């Protein structure tokens, strides 16, 4: 197999891209870009493992600061209201109601929640996140 090194970096780049989609940190996207650039380079030019490692390192040194600047720019473009977080508007499901101590299912785990607004939450109903205070979500009825 002549292009085993290219395939290894291609697989690494794809795995890093998928991990980036899960974590949403941007930094894994930079490493994924570096791995994919290395895969392309080693596909076009016959390289040894150490040459590929140097290409990866150079691409990562270039990509990571650019990704960091992109992340800062995207954060600066967001409004600075008190409710400004990525969880606002997301939907949760009420999982438990122990005399007002709510637990909701969000992001495949249980979170503590505080009910806002009228009515009483019932187990199984869907609600919308108004804000997040640490690990406690403030939720309200949808609509």
CA distance 49 to 129: 49
d(CA 7, CA 105): 39
* 97/43 Cα distance (integer angstroms): 57
Residue-wise pLDDT for 41-95, tens only, equals 999 999 999 999 999 999 999 999 999 999 888 877 765 555 456 788 889 999 9
**Beta strands 126-133 and 136-141, pairing class:** antiparallel
Residue 63 CB neighbours (<10 A): 19
Fold held by 91-141: OB fold (Dihydrolipoamide Acetyltransferase, E2P) (2.40.50)
Give the pLDDT score at 83.
Answer: 47
Inter-axis angle of helices 27-44 and 49-76, to 10 degrees?
Answer: 150
Contacts with 101 (C-beta within 8 Å, 6 or more apart), sequence order:
112
Total-model pTM: 0.56
Cα 64 to Cα 35: distance, rounded to the nearest angstrom: 12
Domain ranges within the chain, ordered by starting residue: 4-76, 91-141
């Amino acid at each position: 197999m002549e292009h085993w090194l290219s395939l290894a970096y291609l697989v690494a780049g794809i795995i890093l891209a998928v991990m980036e989609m899960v974590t949403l940190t941007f930094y894994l996207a930079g490493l994924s870009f570096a791995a994919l650039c290395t895969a392309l380079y080693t596909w076009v030019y016959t390289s040894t493992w150490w040459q590929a490692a140097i290409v990866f390192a150079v691409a990562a040194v270039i990509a990571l600061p650019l990704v960091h600047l992109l992340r800062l720019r995207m954060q600066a473009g967001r409004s600075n209201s008190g409710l400004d977080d990525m969880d606002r508007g997301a939907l949760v499901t009420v999982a438990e109601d122990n005399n007002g101590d709510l637990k909701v299912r969000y992001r495949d785990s249980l979170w503590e929640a505080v009910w806002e607004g009228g009515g009483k939450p019932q187990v199984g109903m869907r609600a919308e996140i108004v804000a997040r205070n640490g690990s406690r979500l403030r939720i309200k009825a949808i609509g």
